[in-house]
């Protein structure tokens, strides 16, 4: 018979790399821890690994008749080996000797096997091809039942069972003696001469359906699946009942589970597990990381019989789950609740109501009045934290922080205080309302003043803008006048210069004339122009004497000419 595959355990319910721990009473304590300035008692070390509750023996370690493991040759090879074993024991063969054809009959494709019911016994067609229905002697006691794939997870036909699972799957199987075993990464073929092999479930180990949550914090502690088997314990045709035969667990990182069998406890670390060991129950799943929650207490009476209820904030970490399970608590919350109630009852019973209403919070940053000390907070700080920390160590829990976040007093004194408190609050509310109304009025007046100031600033801005526009317009007119005057003067100057230049050119042209007749004609034209300019009654006096022109004579001549024109 083939040996077990090295790539999967096939029958063990815990992988070889998974660590499990058992708890033994009376272990020697080692090490010590310290928190919040309190010396703690030494805590016991973690228990040594044991493999008593979380593992079972290899089902195929014993020789079992008519059961063959599926090896490298696959399903066909295992069926051929089972067929040879049946023939050697004197039983009918299960593999048909018929040869296929390629032209008529039932077709068997490659990768499939054909199933034939031969008088209640299985016959298998393993070779691909067509199988004809004649001659008649081939089929008179037989009936063709179709085909199945060689890679199917489960094949169950006329007492023949074929099971093969993949990496993430696990098959829960019941053998002819109702012994439960689990297959992983392997498979087998069996023929039920001595009884049937029933496949109870094919489980996807990475996606278990049922969530397990902490009922206090709501955190997911893990996933589980219970595999059940139906059994009839009464008379013939009586009703059947379901019994749990296997428990699958998927425990996240930093979590753990506690198993119990009788007085023995076992710690399962994170990972995928399957438990088929008899008489094993799951005690609980726990989180090993840091947790926190709010814990309300029951009514506690002060020394003067005033009932008070508190709400605490606790931060803790579970270090040794086996200690907690040994004391009978399912969750750390249950253990801390009982101890907290007991310790606070003892502390509050020695305090008066008056001392408890002086301060309403607990913390390292709280500042107390030295003339009015708070016995309540002092007692909690010096006794409750230390006592609860020491008590939690008995359950394998390290308490990291404690705070009072709320407290309520009850009874007649509490109702009287509530009335006084309501009156004080109402007075504060009224005063706050008056202050708010006054503040609103002041803000309204400030708003009106701001509006007036803004309007005045707007008018000033408009006046400044208007004055600026007038000044700018005047400057523009003056600039335009200046530019026009400059342009006119420049034009006059240019016209005079052009006229003078024209006269000079004409004079040079007349001077350049050499012909006497032409010169005479020029002089006459000049005379005509002069007479035309000054009139025919003008008398022209020569302005040159001795060949020298004098400006005075020229002016006198011009004056005489002017008088003659009048």
8-state DSSP, 252: P
Q: Which residue carries 């020029």 as its tokens?
A: 522
- State residue 104's pLDDT score: 82
Q: Cα(174)–Cα(373) distance, rounded to whole angstroms? A: 72
- State residue 88's pLDDT score: 93
Top pLDDT among 105 and 116 is at: 116
Are 547 and 520 spatial neighbours (Cβ–Cβ below 8 Å)? Answer: no
DSSP3 helix / strand / coil % (the chain, rounded to 5) = 35, 30, 35
Q: Decide: helix, strand or coil at residue 476.
A: helix
Q: Cα(275)–Cα(18) distance, rounded to whole angstroms? A: 13
User: Residue 118: is it exposed, middle or buried by C-beta count within 10 angstroms (0-12/13-18/19+)?
Assistant: middle
Are 10 and 183 spatial neighbours (Cβ–Cβ below 8 Å)? Answer: yes
Are 252 and 288 spatial neighbours (Cβ–Cβ below 8 Å)? Answer: no
- pLDDT winner (highest mean) among 267-276, 415-424, 503-512: 267-276
What does the pLDDT average to over 341-360? 73
CA dihedral of 441, 447, 452, 456, whole degrees rounded to 10: 150
Say if residue 163's pLDDT is above 80. Answer: yes
Tokens found for residue 40 = 């703690």
Which of the four pLDDT bands, split at 50, 70 and 90, describes residue 134? low
- pLDDT winner (highest mean) among 281-290, 410-419, 514-523: 281-290
- State residue 516's pLDDT score: 77
Which residues neighbour 198 within 8 Å (Cβ) at sequence distance 6 or greater? 173, 174, 229
- φ, ψ of residue 460 in degrees (nearest 5): -60, -40
Q: Decide: helix, strand or coil at residue 479.
A: helix
Which of the four pLDDT bands, split at 50, 70 and 90, describes residue 2? very low
Planar angle of CA 287, 291, 297, nearest 5 degrees? 115
pLDDT tens digits for range 435-490:
888 888 888 888 888 888 888 888 888 888 888 889 988 888 888 898 988 889 88
pTM, to two decimals: 0.60
- State residue 223's pLDDT score: 93
Closest residue by Cα to residue 372 from 354, 390, 389 = 354
**Helix (H) or strand (E) run with residue 548 in it:** strand 548-549
- State residue 200's pLDDT score: 93
8-state DSSP, 27: P
In angstroms, the first-to-last Cα distance of the chain is 163
Say if residue 203's pLDDT is above 90. Answer: yes
> In the chain, how many H helices and how many E strands?
9, 28
**Mean pLDDT estimate for the chain:** 77
Are 296 and 310 spatial neighbours (Cβ–Cβ below 8 Å)? Answer: yes
From its phi and psi, is residue 159 left (phi > 0), alpha (psi between -120 and 50) or beta? left
Which of the four pLDDT bands, split at 50, 70 and 90, describes residue 401? confident
What does the pLDDT average to over 109-127? 90
Planar angle of CA 169, 174, 178, nearest 5 degrees? 155
pLDDT tens digits for range 384-398:
788 888 888 998 999
- State residue 102's pLDDT score: 81
- State residue 302's pLDDT score: 80
Residue 38 CA, chain-centre distance (Å), reads 38
- pLDDT winner (highest mean) among 3-7, 137-141, 553-557: 137-141
Tokens found for residue 507 = 């004079």
Closest residue by Cα to residue 94 from 3, 165, 173, 189 = 189
Are 183 and 166 spatial neighbours (Cβ–Cβ below 8 Å)? Answer: no
Which of the four pLDDT bands, split at 50, 70 and 90, describes residue 375? low
Q: Which residue carries 């023949």 as its tokens?
A: 160
């Amino acid at each position: 018979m083939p040996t077990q595959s090295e790539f999967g355990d096939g029958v063990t319910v815990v992988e070889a790399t998974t660590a499990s721990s058992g708890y033994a009473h009376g272990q020697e304590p080692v090490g010590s821890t310290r928190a919040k300035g309190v010396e703690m008692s030494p805590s016991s070390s973690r228990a040594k690994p044991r493999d008593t509750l979380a593992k079972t023996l290899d089902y195929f370690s014993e020789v079992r008749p008519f059961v063959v493991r599926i090896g490298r040759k696959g399903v066909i090879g295992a069926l051929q080996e089972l067929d040879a074993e049946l023939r050697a024991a004197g039983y009918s063969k299960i593999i048909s000797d018929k040869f296929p054809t390629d032209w008529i009959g039932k077709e068997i494709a490659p990768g499939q096997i054909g199933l034939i019911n031969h008088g209640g016994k299985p016959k298998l067609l393993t070779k691909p091809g067509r199988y004809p229905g004649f001659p008649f002697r081939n089929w008179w006691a037989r009936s063709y039942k179709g085909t199945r794939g060689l890679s199917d997870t489960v094949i169950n036909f006329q007492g023949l069972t074929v099971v093969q699972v993949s990496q993430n799957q696990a098959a829960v199987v019941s053998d002819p003696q109702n012994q439960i075993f689990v297959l992983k990464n392997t498979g087998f073929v069996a023929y039920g001469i001595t009884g049937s092999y029933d496949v109870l479930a094919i489980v996807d180990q990475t996606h278990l359906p049922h969530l397990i949550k902490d009922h206090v914090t709501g955190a997911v502690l893990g996933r589980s699946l219970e595999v059940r088997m139906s059994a009839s314990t009464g008379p013939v045709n009586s009703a059947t009942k379901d019994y749990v035969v296997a428990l699958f667990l998927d425990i996240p990182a930093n979590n753990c589970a506690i198993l119990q069998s009788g007085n023995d406890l076992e710690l399962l670390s994170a990972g995928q597990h399957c438990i088929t060991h008899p008489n094993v129950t799951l005690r609980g799943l726990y989180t090993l990381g840091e947790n926190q929650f709010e814990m309300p207490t029951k009514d506690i009476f002060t020394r003067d019989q005033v009932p008070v209820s508190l709400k605490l904030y606790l931060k803790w970490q579970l270090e040794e789950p086996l200690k907690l399970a040994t004391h009978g608590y399912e969750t750390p919350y249950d253990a801390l609740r009982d101890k907290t109630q007991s310790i606070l009852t003892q502390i509050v019973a020695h305090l008066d109501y008056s001392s408890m209403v002086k301060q309403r919070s607990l913390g390292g940053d709280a500042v107390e009045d030295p003339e009015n000390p708070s016995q309540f907070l002092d007692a909690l700080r010096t006794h409750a934290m230390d006592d609860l920390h020491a008590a939690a160590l008995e359950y394998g829990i390290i308490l990291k922080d404690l705070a009072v976040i709320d407290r309520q007093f009850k009874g007649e004194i509490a109702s009287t205080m509530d009335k006084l408190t309501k009156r004080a609050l109402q007075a504060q509310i009224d005063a706050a309302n008056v202050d708010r109304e006054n503040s609103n009025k002041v803000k309204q007046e400030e708003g009106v003043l701001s509006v007036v100031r803004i309007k005045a600033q707007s008018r000033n801005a408009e006046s400044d803008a208007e004055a600026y526009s007038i000044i700018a317009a005047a400057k523009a007119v003056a600039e335009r006048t200046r530019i026009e005057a400059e342009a006119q003067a420049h034009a006059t100057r240019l016209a005079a210069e052009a006229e003078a230049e024209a006269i000079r050119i004409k004079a040079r042209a007349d001077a350049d004339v050499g012909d006497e007749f032409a010169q005479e004609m020029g002089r006459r034209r000049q005379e005509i122009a002069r007479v035309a300019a000054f009139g025919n009654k003008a008398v022209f006096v020569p302005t040159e004497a001795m060949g020298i022109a004098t400006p005075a004579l020229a002016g006198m001549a011009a004056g005489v000419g002017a008088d003659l024109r009048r």
